[in-house]
Structure 1
Amino acid sequence: MNVFVLFPLFDEKIHRKKDPWQIPLHLFRLGHEVKILAYQKNNSDPITSRVDGIEIVRVKPNLLHLLFYLIKNSRNIDCIISYFGNWITLLSGISFKLKKRKGVFVIKMDTDGSYAIKEKNLFRLFYKYFTHLLFPFFVDLIIVESPQARNRILKRYWWLENKIIVLPNGVDTDTYKELEKSIKRPKRSSKKRIILFVGDVIPRKGVDLLIKAFSQLEKEYPNYIVKIVGDVKADPTYKKFLDKLIQSERISKKVIFLGRIGEKELIKEFHKAEIFCLPSRSEGFSIVLIEAMYFGKAIVASNVGASQFVLERGKAGLIFEKDDLNDLIFKLRLLMKSDRLRKFLGKKAHERCIKYFNWSRIVEKLDSYIRKIRQSYEVR
């Protein structure tokens, strides 16, 4: 099967762990011919390149160039997977289905399940009703990342119920297994227990909330420290605010910023940590949350994005109310004082990750859905 993944802003470095790369990679591993269609980032970008067996085709950053390429090559395409619901998705789907009626058109949605632009003017109002009329005719499958996202879509587009499936994001467990073979697993120290955060150091990620909570607990649990992994230059003003906060709370020796680190170093930090904390104020479908689950960490995360679904509403990790400092302190204290609870939740998290958030299994399900749709076209 020839599969095209349509993601105009695709970047090999940014999306390496995310679905725009992982879905094509695992479809390729299942034996399909896979291409990613994207815009050129600059004039020096090659028109075509190949990474891990997948061909990346880049066209000039213009919708007409993209549509022309799809129309020209549609007869050689069996399935298109397009990301998000916008004019590119809409026109690409129509163009493809007009040229190849038996081709399969799939839309991959983001966590919030939104694929119609909010109606703020006549143009967007037109777009809304245009999509209402056309989506049922040219869309074969809509993928959302959580049951909550599916419910949000169905409130507005109830007639698409039979076309919407839930397939979450995941981690590439095969890659992690290979990386771990080349890494000497560090031993945890009972004298220095670690609470780990991974992500850009920006207000949306709520690092200040973690620091404030830790400052209330560090005297009670003096053997704990906080390690923060992520881009400290993403928001210099926020970083200065955090530095002042740390100094005012007199915990400078117990909060360590590691900055950006490589994949192997990140794996080592996961192994060293006792607790993983994700105190985000807003979040999509957090990949790092699933990574923490894979490494069997006891997790405490805010109730934003897909965390309720990912952590099975508190069964595979503790969940606190967004921006509620007292709730975060309470949940962290539960984990910091109980080895037994940390081990129990870490085991639950790992088991759930392997069962539900493993890219190999996720893409096998997607492949099965696409094959069934193709078979249904063949018998018509």
Structure 2
Amino acid sequence: MIRLVFDARMIKMSGIGRYIRSLIPELQKNFELILLGNKNDLSKYNVKVIPVLKPPYHPLEQLELFKKIPEAEIFWTPHFNVPLLPLRVKKRIATIHDIFHLTPFSRLNFFQKFYARLLYKNALKKSNIVFTISEFTKSEIIKYFPFMKKNIHKIKVIPHFAESIFKKKKFGEDERTTFLRKYDSPQNYILYVGNIKPHKNITGLIEAFTYLVKEKPSLKLMCVGQKENFITGNYNIKELLKEKGLEDKVIFTGIISDNELIKLYHFAEFLILPSFYEGFGLPPLEAFACGCPVIVSDIPPLREVCGNAAFYVNPFSIKNIAEGMERLIENSDLRKQLIKKGFKQLRIFNKEKILQKYIRTLNILLK
């Protein structure tokens, strides 16, 4: 059986972690799979795990990866932090989700950006295949690394998908009330799913919510996702909430289980994703699957994901974000239309077809 070594160190993270978790079961079926990472994090998978202790981006990870990656037909890094040193593998694959770290939205310092560029360039040059999850990110790769115009055949666009667990369910009113009490939330709330990195525009969302809550004082903003331990984070949020008098109006849940997230999608007025920059945008697909209306930024990758199934706002205009939220709150017919369109849009991102596309691409690579 063909041996595939997969770097799974980031499995506990939100976006990339979900990407890794979605691929491992399919790779298990088709290859002799070896995972790199923390044995405790990967214990649920019945495969060989090679412990790698150094975290992603740490310069010393390069030496550890060089020593520990065994002979294999394929080595796959699901991010751009690929090994710089030679490996005992026949083919190398990388997934580049976005080029965010090189954009003006990134807050990396000069040396961090220099190292990120080195890793991106190395990933593009050394990989036999570069997977990316949107046509937008493919265009960004070519924009920041023009030499890839001659190697465009190496870039394979395969989108992400919502896991099967995300689907429309029926919940009783008592179950809804009991569940929301856990988060000290009323019946009406707006949902945000994502981290608090600056490009996610969480501060812009809070500023816009300030205007909305004046008209609807019972409304709350529920923010789900990782909010700490980033290289570059947005750590002035607490001060902003205090300044705006929103400390009891904005709830940060931290990372929660998928079952809890499904309920939050179901009970929310709508999901909002006001990002300045994205490589893809998975939360809208999860919201579509759960019958939750969606507001997103009018930026190319989110247009690519959401089509006509979302309400679009200008992420650079706090007023426009506020107006968009107010319109959806007050217009139940619009919310119903978006829900219907969301279910239709979701069909484009079929899990089985997407996973099979990965397997076919890997098999073609080895021929």
Short-chain TM bin: 0.7 to 0.9
1:6 equivalent in structure 2? 7
2:243 equivalent in structure 1? 244
1:345-364 CA distance string (max 9 Å, x none): 122223323431x5443221
Whether the 8 Å CA contact 2:11–2:20 is kept in 1: the answer is no
Q: Is 1:27 the equivalent of 2:19?
A: no
Task: Give how far 1:370 is off.
Answer: 1.1
Give the one of 43, 48, 62 matched to 1:50: 43
- Residue range with higher mean Cα deviation, 359-368 or 56-65: 56-65
Question: Within 2, Cα distance between the matches of 1:238 and 1:296?
Answer: 30
Q: Is 1:272 the equivalent of 2:272?
A: no
Give the letter for the 2:24 counterpart: P
TM-score when normalising by structure 1? 0.72
Q: Is 1:229 the equivalent of 2:224?
A: yes
Percent identical pairs in the alignment equals 21
Report the aligned-residue RMSD: 4.1
CA 1:331–1:236 in 2, change beyond 3 Å: closer, same or farther? closer
1:163 equivalent in structure 2? 154
CA 1:321–1:172 in 2, change beyond 3 Å: closer, same or farther? same
1:243-266 CA distance string (max 9 Å, x none): 33135xxxx77x241523443222
Whether the 8 Å CA contact 2:169–2:290 is kept in 1: the answer is no
Question: Within 2, Cα distance between the matches of 1:270 and 1:204?
Answer: 23
- 1:239-318 alignment runs, 5 A limit: 239-246=238-245, 255-257=249-251, 259-260=253-254, 261-303=256-298, 306-312=301-307, 315-318=308-311
Task: Give how far 1:305 is off.
Answer: 7.9
Give the one of 142, 156, 165 matched to 2:130: 142
Question: Within 2, Cα distance between the matches of 1:166 and 1:202?
Answer: 25
Question: Within 1, Cα distance between the matches of 2:101 and 2:204?
Answer: 29
Rg bigger for which structure? 1
Question: Within 1, Cα distance between the matches of 2:303 and 2:97?
Answer: 16
1:63-111 CA distance string (max 9 Å, x none): 33422333xx31xx2322123445x4343xx5345xx4xxx42221122
- 1:57-96 alignment runs, 5 A limit: 57-59=50-52, 61=54, 62-70=61-69, 73-74=70-71, 77-86=72-81, 88-91=82-85, 94-96=86-88
Task: Give how far 1:166 is off.
Answer: 0.8
CA 1:299–1:180 in 2, change beyond 3 Å: closer, same or farther? closer
Question: Within 2, Cα distance between the matches of 1:215 and 1:12?
Answer: 33
TM-score when normalising by structure 2? 0.74
1:7-63 CA distance string (max 9 Å, x none): 5x43446578522332223322x443322223x6xxxx67x9632334332145343
Task: Give how far 1:233 is off.
Answer: 6.7
CA 1:127–1:298 in 2, change beyond 3 Å: closer, same or farther? closer
Tell me the secondary structure at the aligned position of residue 355 of structure 1.
Answer: coil
1:185-222 CA distance string (max 9 Å, x none): 85699x94332123345655433433332343346557
1:378 equivalent in structure 2? none
Q: Which runs of 5+ in 2 are unaligned?
A: 55-60, 103-108, 181-185
Question: Within 1, Cα distance between the matches of 2:13 and 2:130?
Answer: 26
CA 1:217–1:153 in 2, change beyond 3 Å: closer, same or farther? closer
1:141-166 CA distance string (max 9 Å, x none): 11112111112323411111212111
